[in-house]
């Protein structure tokens, strides 16, 4: 978790790290979140409630009397009684240029929309979804072949750097109200988002393959059933899969799995 490590390295006193409970991962083995792993490596206390609005969690936070709270990709709505606890408010690191792509999947939706650039926004949270005033932003171009995992990693590092820089001059920043009329929504991804068709526009297929890794993934119908497309490229008006994965098999070159007709 780059933001947590960056805050610690910058000398901020972190009194508590709140992250999701351990969940079943590969082969159903219970796996801690990357945030928990990072916090334990740094020797920081960790709390893993099912719900942040749990009265016991709210009471714990009130006892700690934090000066500031930082939220990064937490995955739950922060209730008003929690937002009111820190003396200097709650700051959020959001992986888009707000007000564009408010919601749970901003990185995937930026690629799906064909955006040429994206970035990170540091904002003060209010009770509405990604609605609060902006403290700072940083822009970056989206690579023509960049996929969601690669862009996520880049924006995580960019967000961590911007977070530390913003907190260092927080008292001097005048928050800027978002232009709410320009807001767009980036809802959670659904499995059907990844269902490709050979008749689909090549650019649309390319965007979906890049945007929907690792979940839900992009799949194409073939004589061997639907196969997952892991990478590909556009040739003229045609989309060409480069690497695919058949059900129950390991990733392999598309020409090996599909033959030359569909690859």
CATH of domain 191-258: 3.10.25.10
Question: What is the tens place of the pLDDT at every residue in 108-150?
Answer: 999 999 999 999 999 999 999 999 999 999 999 999 999 999 9
State the Cα–Cα distance between residues 129 and 156, nearest whole angstrom: 20
- Tokens (6 digits) for 255: 């020409």
Q: Which residues pair with 185 in a beta bridge?
A: 102
Intra-chain end-to-end CA distance of the chain, in Å: 37
Give the residue extent of every domain in the chain.
Answer: 2-182, 191-258
The pLDDT-based confidence of 259 (bands split at 50, 70, 90) is confident
Assess whether the region 2-182 and the region 191-258 belong to the same CATH fold. Answer: no
pTM metric for this prediction: 0.94
Class of domain 2-182: alpha beta
What pLDDT was estimated at residue 179? 98
Question: What is the tens place of the pLDDT at every residue in 140-166?
Answer: 999 999 999 999 999 999 999 999 999
């Amino acid at each position: 978790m780059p933001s947590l490590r960056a805050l610690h390295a910058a000398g901020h006193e972190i009194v508590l790290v709140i992250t999701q409970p351990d969940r079943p991962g590969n082969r159903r083995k219970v796996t801690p979140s990357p945030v928990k792993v990072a916090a334990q490596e740094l020797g920081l206390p960790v709390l893993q409630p099912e719900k942040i609005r749990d009265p016991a969690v709210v009471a714990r936070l009130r006892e700690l009397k934090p000066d500031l709270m930082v939220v990064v990709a937490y995955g739950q709505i922060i209730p008003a009684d929690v937002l009111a606890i820190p003396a200097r408010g709650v700051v959020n690191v959001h992986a888009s240029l707000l007000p564009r792509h408010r919601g749970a999947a901003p990185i995937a939706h930026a690629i799906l929309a064909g955006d040429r650039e994206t970035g990170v926004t540091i904002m003060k949270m209010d009770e509405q979804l990604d609605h609060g005033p902006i403290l700072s932003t940083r822009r970056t171009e989206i690579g023509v072949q960049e996929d969601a995992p690669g862009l996520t990693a880049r924006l995580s590092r960019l967000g961590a750097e911007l977070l530390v820089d913003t907190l260092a001059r927080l008292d001097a920043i005048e928050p800027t109200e978002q232009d709410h009329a320009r807001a767009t929504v980036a809802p959670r991804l659904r499995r059907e988002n990844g269902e490709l068709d050979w008749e689909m526009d090549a650019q649309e297929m390319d965007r979906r393959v890049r945007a929907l890794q690792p979940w839900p993934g992009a799949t194409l119908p073939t004589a061997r059933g639907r196969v997952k497309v892991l990478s590909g490229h556009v040739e003229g008006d045609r989309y060409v899969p480069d690497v695919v994965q058949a059900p129950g098999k390991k990733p392999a070159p598309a020409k090996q799995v599909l033959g030359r007709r569909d690859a």
